[in-house]
A = this chain, B = another copy of it.
Amino acid sequence: MIAATTRVAGVIGSPIRHSLSPAIFNAAFAACGLDWVYAAFEVTEGEAPSAMAGVRSLALEGVSVTMPHKEAVIPALDDLDVAAAALGAVNCVVRRGSSLRGHNTDGAGLVDSLRFDESVDVAGLRCTVLGAGGAGRAVAHALGAAGGIVTVVNRTPERAEAAAALAGPAARVGTVADVDGADLIVNATSVGMGADGQLPLDATRLRDNQVVIDLVYHPARTPLLDAAEAAGARVIGGVGMLVHQAAHAFQLWTGEAPPLEAMRHAAVAALAARAT
């Protein structure tokens, strides 16, 4: 029950009414017995700075940040963590007193999902990242920081170069032919989302000694994952990254260890409810 003592966090974005984050975070608070609540705030484009003023004046404990505000929120913050500064994008704001710090936990969410859910250590792995938008950049940065040897594949070479530059000196721009030699392949494009039925690569390039991750989580089983499984590869959906990036935010806000199973269960249940 929400009371006068209940602390408030939430997510800002537009559109926001289909976000899975309220389900994930409220399940986490409940699992830990924390007197917190997490709500969705529809914040229209251009309103990110005034929304940050609102976070300060209403004393929200923190907010998740999603489209279209991940870059726009930065001028209204007091400081940034290493990932947010490198990426120029924030997915989580933490308030301490009247000071707001921007974090980016997306890439760490992917690396944690691999490490803790799948026992995959990316150090030394040849990682091909498809896509160089916000998600692709975050993934390239985190894989590089975790010791992966990153190749970025993207239609627009300039964007691929920028993403590769985030992934350390061993990183480079590649082509879909680089899928052949990859240990780990990450789809960070939106291809395969919804009912588009598309593949982000030529499935004949997939092999049985590869790990294939699709950041698309709706549907849970994308055409890419079907093709990868048919090729004998190990396949991983996008829910793990979603849960682990939220787990980082949970820990930053509350200082408590995140209840990962409750969060994953809530995400899967919310996705299942959406599919029906």
Whether A275 is near chain B, meaning CB under 8 Å from some CB there, is no
Shortest Cβ gap from A61 to chain B (Å): 11
| Residue among A2, A18, A40 with most chain B CB within 10 A | A2
Would you call A37 and B37 a contact (CB within 8 A)?
yes
Q: How far is the CB of A47 from chain B (nearest CB, A)?
A: 5
Q: How far is the CA of A59 from the CA of B17 in the complex (A)?
A: 13
**Residue of A3, A12, A43 ringed by the most chain B CB atoms within 10 A:** A3
Q: Are A12 and B43 in contact (CB under 8 A)?
A: no
Contact indicator A2/B57 (Cβ below 8 Å) = no
The interface residues of chain B lying within 8 Å CB-to-CB of A6 are: 22, 39-40
Smallest CB-CB separation from A3: which chain B residue?
B22
* Chain B hits for A263, CB < 8 A: none
Q: Evaluate whether A17 and B4 lie within 8 angstroms (CB atoms) in the complex, with A53-B57, A54-B54, A56-B50 already known.
A: yes
In the complex, what distance in Å separates the CA atom of A229 from the CA atom of B12?
A: 54
Interface of A is mostly: mixed
> Interface code A29-56, partner B: CB below 8 Å = 1, 0 otherwise?
0000000011111110001001101111
A51 to B17, CA, bound (A): 23
Residue of B nearest to A47 (CB): B57
* Cα(A241)–Cα(B177), bound, Å: 73
Supposing A4-B19, A4-B20, A16-B4 touch, asked if A41 and B58 sit within 8 A by C-beta, the answer is yes
In the bound complex, how far is the Cα of B8 from the Cα of A253, in angstroms?
20
CB distance from A46 to the nearest CB of B (A): 10
- Chain B CB within 8 A of A152 CB: no
State the A residues within 8 Å of B (CB): 1-6, 8, 10-12, 16-23, 26, 37-43, 47, 50-51, 53-60
11 more contacts with CB within 8 A, not counting A2-B38, A54-B54, are A4-B20, A5-B17, A6-B22, A6-B39, A10-B58, A47-B57, A51-B54, A53-B53, A54-B56, A54-B58, A55-B58
Q: Identify 25 residue pairs between A and B in the complex whose beta-carbon atoms are under 8 Å apart, listed by A's number.
A: A1-B23, A2-B2, A2-B22, A3-B22, A3-B23, A4-B16, A4-B17, A4-B19, A4-B21, A6-B22, A8-B10, A8-B39, A37-B37, A39-B39, A41-B59, A41-B60, A43-B57, A47-B57, A50-B53, A50-B54, A50-B57, A53-B54, A53-B57, A54-B55, A55-B58
